[in-house]
Structure 1
Amino acid sequence: MPIAHVYLIEGRDEEKKERLIAEVTDAIHRAVDAPIDSVRVLIIEVPKEHFGIAGQSAKKRGR
């Protein structure tokens, strides 16, 4: 059972997250021939102030 962990800065809408889950699932299925039903995708949303980019939080960088 392949499991993908995807870390994102919070704020994307449900439609985008659903599309991401579908596309990551399909990519894993194609890459390793895993049955679609066995693929798991976990989206971990990180608050902007907890996500660092080049020494600053994403919030401070205006992301």
Structure 2
Amino acid sequence: MPLVEVTLVEGRTPAQLRGLISRLTDAVEAAIDAPRESIRVVVREVPATHWAAGDVTIAERRKE
């Protein structure tokens, strides 16, 4: 049972997230010949204030 986990900063539309899930499922199916029904995709959305690099959050970086 392949499991794909994706973490993104929140802000995508439901349609964009649905498209991502579909394309990831297609890619795993094609890459390793996994049965489609066995593929799991988890999408986690994180607030921009909770994601930082170099002690600067994405929210802070967007303000610049």
- What TM-score does the superposition give when structure 1 sets the normalisation length? 0.93
- Structure 2 counterpart of 1:13, which letter? T
- Percent identity among equivalent residues? 38
Matching residue of 2:53: 53
Instruction: Decide which structure has the larger Cα Rg and report it.
Output: 2
Where has structure 1 moved over 4 Å in runs of 4 or more?
none
Which has more helix, going by share of residues? 2
Alignment-derived partner of residue 29 in structure 1: 29
* Equivalent AA in structure 1 for residue 20 of structure 2: L
* Structure 2 segments unaligned to the other structure (5+ residues): none
- Three-state SS of the structure 2 residue aligned to 1:29 is helix
Q: Aligned pair count?
A: 63
Q: Following the alignment from structure 1 to structure 2, what is the Cα–Cα distance between the partners of residues 18 and 59?
A: 24
Q: Please state if 1:6 is matched with 2:32.
A: no
CA RMSD of aligned residues (A): 1.3
Amino acid at match of 2:35: P
